[in-house]
Amino acid sequence: MSTQPSMEEVKEYQYIPFKVERESWVRYRLEDGAILKTKIVLVNVKTNPSLVEALKKQQEPEKKVTVTINVQTRNIIGVEVPPNLRGPPDTNTYSPSELAKFVVQEDLEFERMDPTTWVSVYELEDKIKLKVQTTLMDVSRTSKYEASGDPIYLVSSTAGIKIVLPKKYRKIKPSVKRISR
C-alpha cells in the first residue's frame, strides 16, 4: 500500500546525479504499415534520505530505514509512416481528449521489432543501476495530422522500472515511485 509522503519528507528529498549508459529506441510495426518509435528518458531521481547512507543503514540489523526513490521520466514517441497514410499538414496542437474525438482506426495491432531488453539504463551513485522499459499498451490513429503531414496517433504505454543494487546492498529491496508530467 502506497502512502502520500508528508511535507517534511518531501523537503528531505535529495536529487541523485546519474550517468546515461543507454537510451535506445523501441520500434513497433503497426498494422497500418507505420513504424512507431518510443524512447523513455530519465529526467531526475530523488530519494529521502541520501540513498547510499540509507542503504548502508539498512545493512545493520537493528536499523530499518525506509528508502523512497522518486523517478521522473519522459516518454518520447515518433512515427515513420508510408506515403499513403500522409495527409494535409496541420500546425494546430491538440490535447489527448480532443484527439480521442478524431480516432479513425482504434486499437491497432502492433508487433515489437526490437528484442525485449531494458532499453534505458542509468548509473546512479555507488554503482547502483536503474533500468527502465516502455511497454506499449494501445495505439489508435486519428484523422489529424502533424505539420509534416504524418498522422497523429494516440498512444498508451507503461514503464517498468528495475533497480539493480551492487552485491554489497542486495539484501535490500527499494520501492520506486514513477512521476510523469
The reported pLDDT for the residue numbered 25 is 92
Contact criterion met (CB below 8 Å) for 27 and 40:
no
List pLDDT tens digits, range 81-115. 999 999 999 999 999 999 999 999 999 999 999 88
The reported pLDDT for the residue numbered 174 is 56
1 pLDDT tier (thresholds 50, 70, 90): very low
pLDDT surpasses 80 at 72: yes
The Cα–Cα gap between 151 and 142 comes to 7
119 pLDDT tier (thresholds 50, 70, 90): confident
Closest alpha carbon to 137 in 117, 158, 113: 158
List pLDDT tens digits, range 34-47. 999 999 999 999 88
Per-residue burial over 101-119, b if 16 or more Cβ lie within 10 Å, else e, is eeeebeebebeeeeeeebb
Place of cell 495527409: 87
